[in-house]
Amino acid sequence: MNAIIRDPLLRIRPLRESDIDAIMTVEQRCYDFPWTAGIFRDSLRVGYICWGYFLDQRLVGYGVMSVAAGEAHVLNICTDPEVRGQGLARRLLQRLINQARERDADTVFLEVRASNRVAIGLYESLGFNEIGRRRGYYPADQGREDAILFAKAL
């Protein structure tokens, strides 16, 4: 287990609209094509499951998931580059999976850029299975990139 996971200042809580600026700071550091503040605001407004990890008072990771009709969809999961490789994304995804179970979802879905080998390894280690591809789903510097679709039966 890594240092950040044992840090007594690490806390998880539901995200609030007042966290949007901090979310955007991390989002823009992590993605060439980040979500907008409006997308996060809408996610909170419609009641999506939105959790954030805070180290001391600084947001270091977050996840957004929708649940409806027995299906959960992980829409965004992100950790600050400064804390990557310490198990935070795993814990965050496990939290979302548990939230999906509590809401009687029978399957969790997500998609990931085909080039994101680290995330793919994480998803597979947590029991997600590849179920398909979406050709040209994501914008990329050189055109478009495929998304790999994953599912995990609960």
Residues that are catalytic? 111, 123
Residue tagged 């007042």 (tokens): 18
- Cβ-based burial of 18 (10 A; exposed 0-12, middle 13-18, buried ≥19): exposed
CA distance 47 to 45: 6
Is residue 45 within 8 A of residue 81, CB to CB? The reply is no
DSSP 32-69: SSPPPHHHHHHHHHTT-EEEEEEETTEEEEEEEEEEET
Is residue 116 marked as binding? Answer: yes
Amino acid at 147: A
Q: Fill in the DSSP letter of residue 127.
A: T
Q: Which residues are annotated as a binding site for acetyl-CoA?
A: 116
Binding residues: 116
